[in-house]
A and B are shown apart, each in its own frame.
Chain A
Amino acid sequence: QSVLTQPPSASGTPGQRVTISCSGSSSNIGSNYVYWYQQVPGTAPKLLICRNNQRPSGVPDRFSGSKSGTSASLAISGLRSEDEADYYCAVWDDSLSAHVVFGGGTKLTVL
């Protein structure tokens, strides 16, 4: 069971906007930056969003991130078939054993 809670699946049709949530606690999302990663099956993960809402160079502006309190969200607008992938949130956790925590991942299906 992951420290960060994500829905196991999400779906949308091409052109739609979908959001993926990530719920944590005061020791992780509540006090640190949230990162999001995209993993296309069979490939290594790729950084999509850093520091809650910033896009690294090369990431399309269709992808956006937000954070409020102990929850965060990834939004994908203008959904495309190539967006079909697994998405993970991650954050540093300041609890007794300081470490990085990942969400369980959300499998996005483009219908």
Chain B
Amino acid sequence: QVQLVESGGGEVQPGGSLRLSCAASGFTFSAFGMHWVRQAPRKGLEWVAFIRFDGSTEYYADSVKGRFTISRDNSKNTVSLQMNSLRAEDTALYHCAKDFIQWRDYGLVGTWGQGTLVTVSS
């Protein structure tokens, strides 16, 4: 079955950096776009970024554009999120998620990982 396991979360000071990773298994990773979606404590879902199945296109939420970078390694079945210039408002549980339909230029989330917690605090 599909498994998405995030890692790399932790506590960081404002202005700092963190790199999240997601190990995928149970499906043909190179055929699916991948998302990162976050959820601040006691808040709703906020989409963060998407990368096309072949890594050729990326989309970002306005709130993270220029600070976060999504990337993937299809040889290792991993997707990453490099987060720079972190702010208090970036504090959230970050979910790695698989697109619902394969071979799409963009799409919506199908399966979610359990998430990794990022806390930005001085």
A contact set with B: CB distance below 8 Å: 2, 33, 35, 37, 39, 44-47, 50, 56, 86, 88, 90-92, 97-105
Contact = CB atoms under 8 A, between A and B. Distances in A.
A47 B110 contact: yes
Identify whether the interface residues of B are mostly helix, strand, loop, or mixed: strand
Interface residues of B, number: 24
Interface of B: 35, 37, 44-47, 50, 59-62, 65, 95, 100, 106-115
A39 B65 CA distance: 27
A97 B44 CA distance: 21
A92 B107 contact: yes
Contact of A88 (B45, B60, B114): B45
Contacts of B110: 47, 50, 56
A22 to B, nearest CB: 13
B44 A50 contact: no
B112 A98 contact: no
Contact of A91 (B59, B108, B111, B112): B108
Given A44-B112, A100-B35, A50 B59 contact: no
Query: 8 smallest A-B Cβ distances: which pairs?
Result: A100-B47, A105-B44, A44-B112, A35-B108, A102-B45, A104-B44, A44-B114, A45-B112
Contact of B112 (A46, A99, A100): A46
Nearest to A103: B44
B39 to A, nearest CB: 9
A50 B45 CA distance: 17
B108 A100 contact: yes
A37 B61 CA distance: 19
A7 B82 CA distance: 34
A50 B112 contact: no
Contacts of A33: 108
Given A44-B112, A45-B112, A50-B100, A102 B62 contact: no
Nearest to B112: A44
Given A35-B100, A90-B45, A90-B47, 11 more contacts: A35-B108, A44-B95, A47-B111, A56-B110, A88-B44, A97-B62, A98-B59, A98-B106, A100-B47, A100-B59, A100-B108
